[in-house]
Amino acid sequence: MPNASMAIGVVSGEFAARVKRLCKGSSPRDRRGRGQVVRCVRAVALTAVVFIHPLLVGCESDLLDLPAPADPQLQARVIAARYMAGEYPNVVDSAPGQPHAIYNWKYTQGVTLWAFLLLHEQTGNPLYLGQVRAALVNYDTNGRIDIHGGSEPIDYIGAMAHAILEYSLRSGDERFLDGALEAARFFHQDVARTPEGLIAYHDHPERGRIWADALFMVTPLMAKAGRYLGDESYYDDVLEQFRGFNTRLRDPDVGLYHQGWNWHGSGPSPGFWGRANGWVALAMTEVLDTVPEGSPGRGELLASYQDFVQAIVAHQGLGGMWHQLLDRPDSYEETSCTAMFIYALARGVQRGWLSDDYADAIERGHAGLSRMISLTGGIANICPGTPTQSSEQGYLDRGPRRNDSHGIGPALLATCGVMGLRDAADEMSSAAKLRRQGPGEPATDAARLDKPWAAVSDGRIR
């Protein structure tokens, strides 16, 4: 497994450096040393897990199914390392000694590449930005980029164009920027629409068929392009899409979304499929984070988001995860929607859209998700790609699968959300403790801003 050894060896170096830094001068005789020793031991344990990872990937062993420690930094590292090593399905280009495997051009990879950008922002690890750059260069060199998505534009360009736009704006590398902006213009002006103006399924749009998945595939891209271009008409279009989709797909009593409208006869599809609601949650989060406060219609979307997340939390399972059908606890615990909800809730708390009361649901969700992530970065209980079904049984029959591409990006997003939330809580706690200390008092170990690998033992953020 040369690719795995290379990728994991680099990311594990971060742990080794942190161990050396934390262990230095951590004598128990020092009155501050005890806290350092505890953190040193924790870091050593996590480092050991990362170093043995290359020995586990690809082996036939029960170790494959052992869950990784419930630490979002470690989980992100083992998932990212496995991805860069080409150990998930749908690899199209991977060679020994090449640090970045390339996967197929599809919306699932768009989500994953976007998650790598957020992971780079969260950790500063250049490998993660390099993964996105390598993928885009490969797609461009091999003619895989199709800005208009062929016969299925929403599935095959929306999320990928979003990742390209995010990469361009974050890195300053504008080689692919024009293509992403052209994709946004296409969705804004030329994509098929229903008679009422909603973004439609590409085949026979006059039938008025829409599906919730499209909200994420299209609206964050359009909103971010509008911000870059300074064109508020993109905002207007995006917010109008949410109004129309809410009217058609959201159940006013339950507060959750049906996946589709007018797919099997007239009206909404049956049940409340988890990932359809996850797509909506991600879309709302990214649009709220993009459209400026005070823009017409943004307050309406914020209120809709806040009402929606109340319904999401109300349907959280006893084990912390959410289910394949959200209101059916007899359906299996599903990983991708759980991860999407964790990210959307965490961002809401960080941005001040939600109160800190939601932290418990986030931590419970992460604890449940952690049962699905193995030491080798394997991810269990993922629903595969799911067209709009004609019955609830149709959704129940979909999956679960292991390492399906629909769960990789969302799992990384969840780790980023939890890491960001814990970092913010640590900073606030440390600042408060520093304010309480007198000007001549030394800072205690608990007041240090550097608190790596925070753990949760009682359901609260620490």
DSSP 137-175: HHHHHTT---TT-TT-HIIIIIHHHHHHHHHHHHH---T
Which two three-digit tokens encode residue 102?
Answer: 């390339």
Q: What is the pLDDT of residues 183-238, one digit of tens each?
A: 999 999 999 999 999 999 887 888 899 999 999 999 999 999 999 999 999 999 99
Helix (H) / strand (E) containing 44: helix 33-56
Which two three-digit tokens encode residue 306?
Answer: 């806040």
The reported pLDDT for the residue numbered 432 is 65
Burial 331-356 (b: 16+ CB within 10 A, else e): bbbbbbbbbbbbbbbbbbbbeebbee
Q: What is the pLDDT of residues 6-25, one digit of tens each?
A: 344 434 454 444 444 444 44
Angle at 307 between CA 304 and CA 312, to 5 degrees: 120
Average pLDDT over residues 453-458: 29
The reported pLDDT for the residue numbered 429 is 65
Average pLDDT over residues 169-186: 96
SS3 382: strand
The reported pLDDT for the residue numbered 444 is 39
Residue 260 pLDDT class (50, 70, 90 cuts) = very high
Residue whose C-alpha is closest to residue 362's, from 406, 324, 313, 396: 313
The reported pLDDT for the residue numbered 451 is 28
- Please provide the average confidence, as pLDDT, over all residues in the chain: 84
333-334 and 322-323 strand pairing: antiparallel
Render 211-265 in DSSP notation, one character per residue.
Answer: ETHHHHHHHHHHHHHHHHHT-HHHHHHHHHHHHHHHHHHB-TTT--B-SEESSSS
**Whether pLDDT at 415 is above 80:** yes
Average pLDDT over residues 26-48: 46
The reported pLDDT for the residue numbered 427 is 76
The reported pLDDT for the residue numbered 194 is 93
Neighbours of 5 (CB within 10 A): 15
* Total-model pTM: 0.83
Tell me which of 11-20, 153-162, 296-305, 310-319 is least confident: 11-20
250: phi then psi, degrees, rounded to nearest 5: -90, 130
SS3 labels along 356-367: HHHHHHHHHHHH
Q: What is the pLDDT of residues 371-395, one digit of tens each?
A: 999 999 999 999 999 999 999 999 9
Burial 388-410 (b: 16+ CB within 10 A, else e): bbeebebbbebbbbbbbbbbbbb
What residues contact 436, with CB distance under 8 A and at least 6 apart? none
Average pLDDT over residues 116-134: 97
The reported pLDDT for the residue numbered 421 is 94
Tell me which of 35-44, 70-79, 125-134, 179-188 is least confident: 35-44
Which is more confidently placed, 147 or 8? 147
Q: What is the pLDDT of residues 281-298, one digit of tens each?
A: 999 999 999 999 999 999
